[in-house]
Amino acid sequence: MQPLVHDHRRGPTLDRMAEGWFATDDDDEVDEAQQAVLDVLRARASSDHWPMIDPADTSVEFPGTYNYGYPLQPGETSFGKVLAWLDVPDPERRSSLLTVGVYFTETDMRGDCLHNQMLTLPAEPTHLAVIQAGTSQQMAHRAAGWFLDILRRPIVRYEWLRAGRVYAHRCLFADSGHGLVEGRVRTGELGPPDRRIHVRGDQP
């Protein structure tokens, strides 16, 4: 499977495959707490064989970069903070179904779906939200398990046809019914879909 193409990330080269997951840039200065998080996430992504995702669909950002979406609060410093995030890809349409990520401090983490451009957390936690305190390693293991659970969740695409062609579509989690993305045509008043296609994740 080829990685999604985004202008703010770069794919791994053969000599960097050990760091292909959540790859850093050459000029990133990574402190001990940040490195501990990255080490766990990379090891878990590799050993857990994250399904239907390429390392280049994962990314990491540090405070001070233009797309680090969590603003520092009054009195906070940037030491130890890191954002690890990924796009959940649609392997057929070569598009992103959902962007999810985790913001780490030195003592706690917050994960949820993210704005796919600004990388900000939602104003109100969604059903995907995760919060945990602990050491860098403990939080990173929890985040890795959370990422894996999301990648395994069944996602289906509903399609509405006209003249034998797809007129409208909508993707959603099959196990909960929570919507993800839909086409330009709103599907709320179209009635039952003409077909239901399993897109990714475990079979429902």
Residue 76 maps to a domain: yes
Same domain, 75 and 114: yes
Say yes or no: 97 and 186 in one domain.
Answer: no
Q: Is residue 5 situated within a structural domain? A: no
Range of the domain at 35: 14-152
The reply to whether 6 falls in a domain is: no
The DSSP element (H or E) to which 46 belongs, if any, is helix 32-47
Answer whether 165's CB lies under 8 Å from 194's CB.
Answer: no
Residue 3 maps to a domain: no
In this structure, are 49 and 144 located in the same domain?
Answer: yes
Instruction: Go through 173-200 and write b for each residue having 16 or more CB atoms within 10 A of its CB, e for each that does not.
Output: bbeeeeebbbeeeebeeeeebeeeeebb
- Report the half-sphere exposure of 86 (CA within 13 A, side-chain side): 27
Q: What is the pLDDT of residues 128-173, one digit of tens each?
A: 999 999 999 999 999 999 999 999 999 999 999 999 999 999 999 9
Same domain, 81 and 127: yes
- Indicate whether 50 and 123 sit together in one domain: yes
- Could you report the per-residue pLDDT of 25-84, keeping only the tens digit for each? 888 889 999 999 999 999 999 999 999 999 999 999 998 787 788 777 777 777 788 999
Quick one: 30 and 127 in the same domain?
Answer: yes
Tokens of 139: 């939080």
How far, CA to CA in Å, does 76 sit from each of 37, 70, 72, 79? 19, 12, 6, 9
Question: In this structure, is residue 7 part of a structural domain?
Answer: no
165 shares its domain with 77:
no
Per the CB < 8 A criterion, the answer to whether 103 and 76 are in contact is: no
In the chain, how many domains are there? 2
